Structure 1
Amino acid sequence: MTAYLHIGTTNTGNQEKQGFLMQNEEKLLEKGYIYPKSLRVANRHWALVDIVLELVKKEKLSQNILEDLDNERLLRTIENFKVESALHKDKKFIFSAEGIVWDFSTKRHVEILERVMRELGFTQIYIIVYFRDTLGYLNSHCSQDHKNNMGYYSADFSPDNHPRKYIFDYEWICKIHAEVFGEENLIVRLLREDYIGGTLLKDFVYHLGLEWDEGFILKQTKNESFNLLGMELMSRLNRKDLQQDNLNSLLFMARRKFEGTQEQRLKFAVQKDIAKAYVDYFAPSLEWVRQKYFPHKKSLFTPVNWNEYQENYTLKDVKKEDWDNIVDFMAQIIVSKNKIIQSLKEN
């Protein structure tokens, strides 16, 4: 069987790709592809990540690596996949899990992933990875740190001390996956650069070996970064002693209200000295990727014009409409709470 394994990276339109694959499951089946329901957590195949994270803790692994799993949930997931794959063994499988880049910090993680995929029945495995410019990646992760309540904030670290330094090191990501899965099986793409077909989804579909179909469903929910209001609110809420379920509910409402903005004053931009430190530190890694996969380009991404760069990391200019948005956010919380109380009373 053949698998296309999309590994991320994080913050490169993954929600858009995964939503597309879910919404077009039937059409994909007609074309000989499947986005399997087993191994999926919500819309992505996070079970693959969880399997590797369990196995990597073990010093010695059996020849059939899946025999070393103890987690009952993961064992049931694998059994479900075996049933699903038996029904669709004539199809090409598409997997997507940005957690592979996010959580796999060593070559051993990737080697175990490869063995897991082989045991699941795949003889041909293509790896698809998307990269974005370092500054955009850093800014996006500063927002994501608050969304995920990571317990740290990326801009507080120099690039060499970032807790997940490896996610910024595109050279390392390429080398490790090429060594394990084969150079010929690694497909490297760039966010917002040189899309085949002109859009991210058309580029993604092309590299799955599919022709674009105008009948594809394109109802997309994109993951945008918080504006400065969202950054300020969630950073403070995360410091409160709230249960995780409460934080998840607040995050859901905050995302609806404070993701994205057209106003320059509300667009987050990390401190200039931090921004420049990250761009400079990872420049050799980007240059390696350019020479290896995009030698026709003068630079992997458009260089940053530091003379024009405007940092914007704290909310300084608060306007009347900002207070209106904060009040709307508070009102959402009250309405949601009242609905839950009423539902409990009725039951």
Structure 2
Amino acid sequence: WQAALSAEIKAQTCSHVVMSSEHLQSRLHEPEAIRALSDYLQDRFSDIRVILYIRDPLDTIVSLYSTAVKSGSRLAELPLSPPDLWANIVNHKATIQRWQANLAPAELRLRLFQKDDFVQGDLLADFISAAELPALDYKRPKRANESLDRLGLEVLRRLNKDIPVILPDGTTNPQRGNIKTVFEAHFNGGAPFLPSAEAVAAYDAAFADSNDWVRETFFPEREYLFTPKTRNMASEDALAPGDLDEMAAFAAALWRRNHKRGTRKKNRT
């Protein structure tokens, strides 16, 4: 890909190149990997700027939990100690220091991922402004990878037990089909998933020092790094676990039956 990208850059007459990927942060977590990227960029560009969006750690963890369930996880609750991948993503102090130390002399532009701080209240408008891109009539993509609401998460994580992504023999389960797409389409507007009080306290405490360092270093004029919000925790208004188990079992039975019917029809065709 490096050779292909270099050829594309040479073939263009543009003065600016924009590269965007959330995996730069989550995959390049070793200093030598970031330095390798720095060497590649410095060989091709005279001015390098890094735009980094950081989000409230607990909000990020809830989003990651939703993605995990959509991918087949059976986790019933947020783990009180985050997996290494999750901890890396939300430890903003460590991310900033790692990239500043290994991508010099690139300029770091830090942005807060919360609507009240976006230019025009819009993420893409904010990025266009931060990247100093021209005011064009950009084609905007549809929203993607939306978090599931509470009911969708509760049902899907149970269904993941009956229709797992990976079968016991290590092969991909063909019965999964487009189940992720179906849940995303039907479970995105209800009450949000609410973590337990223990999880809220654990994550707020775990990343308090990181958030305070970022605020003092980059946003000293702010009283808080992220806009304070009431931490609504899981409460008694949640559906009974037994009812959810029955709902998931029913959904699994319907899904298997429809998938089997669709397979037979496809074979006949």
1:208 is aligned, of 124, 131, 135, to: 131
Equivalence for 1:108: 32
Report the alpha carbon displacement of residue 102 of structure 1 after superposing the two structures with TM: 2.1
Q: Does 1:99 align with 2:28?
A: no
Q: Is the 8 A contact 2:75 2:157 kept in 1?
A: no
Report the alpha carbon displacement of residue 132 of structure 1 after superposing the two structures with TM: 1.2
List per-residue Cα deviations over 1:161-210 (Å, max 9, x = no partner).
Answer: 65532211101111111122237611111112421233111101111212
Q: Distance in 2 between matches of 1:124 and 1:151?
A: 45
Q: Distance in 2 between matches of 1:304 and 1:314?
A: 20
List per-residue Cα deviations over 1:296-339 (Å, max 9, x = no partner).
Answer: 21111123445xx3325995169x9xx99998897677667655
Q: Distance in 2 between matches of 1:173 and 1:164?
A: 12
Equivalence for 1:300: 225
Do the aligned partners of residues 79 and 113 (structure 1) sit closer, same or farther apart at CA in structure 2, a change above 3 Å counting? closer
Q: Is the 8 A contact 2:50 2:109 kept in 1?
A: yes
Equivalence for 2:52: 129
For 2:90, the aligned partner's letter is: F
Q: Does 1:271 align with 2:200?
A: no
Report the alpha carbon displacement of residue 272 of structure 1 after superposing the two structures with TM: 1.0
2:112 is aligned, of 190, 203, 217, to: 190
Q: Distance in 2 between matches of 1:168 and 1:101?
A: 10
Q: Distance in 1 between matches of 2:93 and 2:105?
A: 13
Q: Distance in 2 between matches of 1:84 and 1:314?
A: 56
- Counting only pairs closer than 5 Å after superposition, residues 22-61 of structure 1 correspond to structure 2 as none
Q: Does 1:140 align with 2:68?
A: no
For 2:189, the aligned partner's letter is: T
- Counting only pairs closer than 5 Å after superposition, residues 1-347 of structure 1 correspond to structure 2 as 77-118=1-42, 121-149=44-72, 155-159=78-82, 162-182=84-104, 185-192=107-114, 193-213=116-136, 215-239=137-161, 240=164, 241-242=166-167, 243=172, 246-247=175-176, 249-258=178-187, 260-262=188-190, 266-305=191-230, 309-311=232-234, 315-316=238-239, 342-346=265-269
Do the aligned partners of residues 229 and 343 (structure 1) sit closer, same or farther apart at CA in structure 2, a change above 3 Å counting? same
Q: Distance in 1 between matches of 2:99 and 2:237?
A: 38
In the alignment of these two chains, the number of paired residues is 258
Q: Is the 8 A contact 1:270 1:311 kept in 2?
A: yes
Do the aligned partners of residues 114 and 334 (structure 1) sit closer, same or farther apart at CA in structure 2, a change above 3 Å counting? farther
Which sections of structure 1, spanning at least 5 residues, go unmatched?
A: 1-76
SS in 2 for 1:278: helix
Q: Distance in 1 between matches of 2:142 and 2:153?
A: 24
Q: Distance in 2 between matches of 1:199 and 1:217?
A: 14
Q: Distance in 2 between matches of 1:305 and 1:155?
A: 18
Q: Is the 8 A contact 2:100 2:108 kept in 1?
A: yes
Q: Distance in 2 between matches of 1:336 and 1:217?
A: 36
Do the aligned partners of residues 164 and 132 (structure 1) sit closer, same or farther apart at CA in structure 2, a change above 3 Å counting? closer
Q: Distance in 1 between matches of 2:267 and 2:250?
A: 26
SS in 1 for 2:117: coil
List per-residue Cα deviations over 1:238-276 (Å, max 9, x = no partner).
Answer: 343542565462212222222x224xxx32011111111
TM-score (norm 2): 0.79
Report the alpha carbon displacement of residue 154 of structure 1 after superposing the two structures with TM: 7.2
List per-residue Cα deviations over 1:67-120 (Å, max 9, x = no partner).
Answer: xxxxxxxxxx3343233222215342221211122223332332232234345x
Q: Is the 8 A contact 1:141 1:154 kept in 2?
A: no
Do the aligned partners of residues 246 and 92 (structure 1) sit closer, same or farther apart at CA in structure 2, a change above 3 Å counting? farther
SS in 2 for 1:95: coil
Q: Distance in 2 between matches of 1:327 and 1:304?
A: 37
TM-score (norm 1): 0.63
Identity, % of aligned pairs? 21
Report the alpha carbon displacement of residue 279 of structure 1 after superposing the two structures with TM: 0.9
Q: Distance in 2 between matches of 1:342 and 1:130?
A: 48
SS in 2 for 1:210: coil
Which sections of structure 2, spanning at least 5 residues, go unmatched?
A: none
Report the alpha carbon displacement of residue 236 of structure 1 after superposing the two structures with TM: 2.9
